[in-house]
Amino acid sequence: MNKRFPDNFLWGGATAANQLEGAFLEDGKGWSTADTALYIGKEARTQMLLGEPMTRDQVEFAMKDKKGHYPKRHGIDFYHRYKEDITLMAEMGFKTFRLSISWPRIFPNGNDQEPNEAGLAFYDAVFDECLKHGIEPLVTISHYEFPLHLALTQNGWLSRDTIDHFVRYAETLFNRYKDKVKYWLTFNEINIIGMTGYLSGGILADGIDNMLAAQYQAGHHQFLASALTVKKCHEIIPDAKIGCMLARMEAYPETCNPQDVLASVKADEMNFFYTDVQIRGEYPAYMDSFFEENGVVIDVQEGDRDILREGTVDFLSFSYYMSMVVGESKGETGGNLFGSIKNPYLKASDWGWQIDPVGLRITMKKMYQRYQVPLFIVENGLGAEDVVTEDKRIHDAYRIDYLRDHIEQIGLAIQEGVEVMGYTPWGCIDLVSASTSEMSKRYGFIYVDLDDDGKGTLERIRKDSFYWYQKVIATNGEELA
Ligand code: BG6
């Protein structure tokens, strides 16, 4: 077989601060929207829960609640165990480790006069540990959390002031870590603001008549913040690369009925809107009719279009877990962000996510054709329940199958001319689920002894997939068996 993966291909794994770190309010960290997320659990497995709107009363209740279980406050205690965890990643041969920085760990209220030195020092130590092992940090500046103070005082990204606070936060990171971090992402799954208005947008539901309009306005502010951040990054760290991050929703037409095909084209437009703005630097014309039909009027101020044009990203990173089907039929199945019509050709995970490795290749080809910028697959993986045997082994052949089939397709896409920077499967170490706050929905190569009730020793155990991925990396993707 031809050599497919380039020599500098960045193999690794991905995580996010709010699902991993724990150390809630420790060393000066402020409240984050993620800290108010209750455990939801198994009954909600096939529902989309990230998008639950929160009112001020609900948030204030969560802040005082002594009885509820809030797993994201505890994560898997990476804050105190990062050395052990990064050493295990190094043992697998990671070239890169995707992690996010918690904004309220750096600016507890989001807009403080001075950054929190203890928070900055923590990430210094994490990056040093990575670099010691030859692992390049890949840092997401904002991943599904937001300083709660800014949500309560100015309704998050709905306020234009949030742009300045965010850019100051990003600038602080660039100045501090310029010698350590060369790969950056602005907003995780920026297109999901429509589903995570509270979690990532900091928008409270109170008093908002048109939530859709609010989310697109907030999205406009994120676009501006992202563009200004990209510009700052290039000024402060000239040898860095900074990308956008899209939750890619490959949507097949249900049939060859032109109406179904049109539905899939429109689904692409709604998804690619975000990358069109961040890569091409302007709003695409197709959104005008969508905004008109939905009564969305965005406050675009003088100079905004120049900012967008001057702050385009260097690469397109994306998450891909599954494909979807759109059309007239109503048969629903689950999904990480949206439900979809069932695809009779595909199997699904226990959570109803339709497993489609070829869909990854399709989507990579489509995106590369559209933009001709390098791609980076920064999330992909299978959430599954693992069983620990008596001799403390985890035989996760199902996870190996899923990842092998997807890597195979990435290799083929590369052979077919798609430029790819790297691959970081999601939740390389088991962590708290973003949507349901479960622990039992595991993605990792490394098992963490912690259950849905927050009980366990937190011991880390290598799964079968750990040794398999180690071999994949060692052979640069040539040996997938
Ligand atoms: C992605 C998010 O959408 O999906 C991650 O960026 C998330 O934060 C991942 O964890 C998997 O979703 P879940 O709900 O299974 O954790």
Q: State in Å: Cα 258 to ligand 1 middle.
A: 33
Ligand 1 pocket check for 97: Cβ under 6 Å: no
Of all protein residues, the one whose alpha carbon is nearest to atom 7 of ligand 1 is 434
Question: 458: phi > 0 → left, psi -120 to 50 → alpha, else beta; which?
Answer: left
**Residue 426 Cα: closest atom of ligand 1:** 9
Q: Could you give the C-alpha distances from 463 to 6, 172, 182, 254, 355, in angstroms and in order?
A: 27, 38, 30, 38, 21
Q: Which residue among 145, 248, 317, 319 has the greatest number of ligand 1 atoms within 8 angstroms of its CB, and so is best to mutate?
A: 319
DSSP label of 424? -
Q: State in Å: Cα 239 to ligand 1 middle.
A: 30
Contacts 24+ apart (CB under 8 A), 216-219: 216/291, 216/296, 216/298, 217/158, 217/298, 217/299, 218/156, 218/157, 218/158, 218/193, 219/157, 219/190, 219/193, 219/194, 219/274
Ligand 1 pocket check for 433: Cβ under 6 Å: yes
Q: Which residue among 20, 336, 432 has the greatest number of ligand 1 atoms within 8 angstroms of its CB, and so is best to mutate?
A: 336
Dmax over CA atoms of the chain, in Å, equals 65
Cross-strand pairs, 442: 384
Ligand 1 pocket check for 320: Cβ under 6 Å: no
d(CA 418, CA 22): 38
Residue 171 burial class via C-beta count within 10 angstroms: exposed 0-12, middle 13-18, buried 19 and up: middle
The 10 Å CB-count burial string (b at 16+, else e) for 223-255 is bbbbbbbbbbbbeebeebbbbbbbbbbbbbbbe
pLDDT at 51 (0 to 100): 56
Residue 476 burial class via C-beta count within 10 angstroms: exposed 0-12, middle 13-18, buried 19 and up: middle
H or E element in which residue 242 lies: strand 241-247
Ligand 1 pocket check for 17: Cβ under 6 Å: no
Cβ-proximal residues to 301 (8 Å cutoff; 6+ apart), any chain? none
Of all protein residues, the one whose alpha carbon is nearest to atom 9 of ligand 1 is 434
Q: Are 176 and 66 in contact (CB under 8 A)?
A: no
Q: State in Å: Cα 336 to ligand 1 middle.
A: 7
What's the CATH number for 10-249+307-322+351-474? 3.20.20.80
Q: State in Å: Cα 335 to ligand 1 middle.
A: 11
* Residues tagged active-site: 189, 379
The 10 Å CB-count burial string (b at 16+, else e) for 274-283 is bbbbbbebeb
Q: State in Å: Cα 257 to ligand 1 middle.
A: 33
Q: State in Å: Cα 428 to ligand 1 middle.
A: 12
pLDDT at 332 (0 to 100): 53
Q: State in Å: Cα 309 to ligand 1 middle.
A: 30
d(CA 202, CA 340): 27
Tokens for 475, please give them: 């052979």
Beta strands in 91-221 (DSSP E): 96-100, 136-142, 183-187
Among 353, 315, 319, residue whose Cα is nearest residue 248: 319
Of all protein residues, the one whose alpha carbon is nearest to atom 10 of ligand 1 is 434
Give DSSP secondary structure letters for 266-281: HHHHHHHHHHIIIIIS
Cβ-proximal residues to 65 (8 Å cutoff; 6+ apart), any chain? none
d(CA 144, CA 19): 9
Ligand 1 pocket check for 438: Cβ under 6 Å: no
Of all protein residues, the one whose alpha carbon is nearest to atom 8 of ligand 1 is 434
Of all protein residues, the one whose alpha carbon is nearest to atom 2 of ligand 1 is 434
d(CA 22, CA 82): 11
Ligand 1 pocket check for 16: Cβ under 6 Å: yes
Q: State in Å: Cα 307 to ligand 1 middle.
A: 30
User: CA quadruple 45, 389, 75, 128: dihedral positive or negative?
Assistant: negative
d(CA 331, CA 264): 16
Ligand 1 pocket check for 260: Cβ under 6 Å: no
d(CA 10, CA 421): 6
Q: State in Å: Cα 97 to ligand 1 middle.
A: 16
Q: What SS3 state is found at 283?
A: coil
Q: Which residue among 50, 143, 426 has the greatest number of ligand 1 atoms within 8 angstroms of its CB, and so is best to mutate?
A: 426
Ligand 1 pocket check for 383: Cβ under 6 Å: yes
pLDDT at 334 (0 to 100): 53
Ligand 1 pocket check for 20: Cβ under 6 Å: no
**Residue 188 Cα: closest atom of ligand 1:** 6
d(CA 80, CA 23): 8
- Percent of the chain's residues with pLDDT above 70: 94
pLDDT at 424 (0 to 100): 98
pLDDT single digits (tens) 423-449: 999 999 999 999 889 999 999 999 999
Cβ-proximal residues to 454 (8 Å cutoff; 6+ apart), any chain? 69, 71, 74, 439
**Residue 144 Cα: closest atom of ligand 1:** 8
Give DSSP secondary structure letters for 330-389: --EE--SSS-EE--TT--B-TT-PBP-HHHHHHHHHHHHHHH-S-EEEEE----B-----
Report the relative pairing of strands 460-462 and 446-448 from DSSP bridges. antiparallel
Cross-strand pairs, 317: 245, 376
pLDDT at 336 (0 to 100): 47
**Residue 381 Cα: closest atom of ligand 1:** 11
Among 359, 392, 378, residue whose Cα is nearest residue 460: 392
Helices and strands: H and E segment counts in the chain: 14, 14
Residue 285 burial class via C-beta count within 10 angstroms: exposed 0-12, middle 13-18, buried 19 and up: exposed
Of all protein residues, the one whose alpha carbon is nearest to atom 12 of ligand 1 is 434
pLDDT at 3 (0 to 100): 64
User: CA quadruple 393, 399, 404, 407: dihedral positive or negative?
Assistant: negative
For residue 65, the tally of other CB atoms under 10 A from its CB is 12
Ligand 1 pocket check for 441: Cβ under 6 Å: yes
pLDDT tens for the chain, 481 residues long, are 456 899 999 999 999 999 999 999 999 999 999 999 989 876 554 444 455 678 999 999 999 999 999 999 999 999 999 999 999 999 999 999 999 999 999 999 999 999 999 999 999 999 999 999 999 999 999 999 999 999 999 999 999 999 999 999 999 999 999 999 999 999 999 999 887 889 999 999 988 888 889 999 999 999 999 999 999 999 999 999 999 999 999 999 999 999 999 999 999 999 999 999 999 999 999 999 999 999 999 999 999 999 999 999 999 999 999 999 998 765 555 554 455 788 999 999 888 889 999 999 999 999 999 999 999 999 999 999 999 999 999 999 999 999 999 999 999 999 999 999 999 999 999 999 998 899 999 999 999 999 999 999 999 999 999 999 999 999 999 999 9
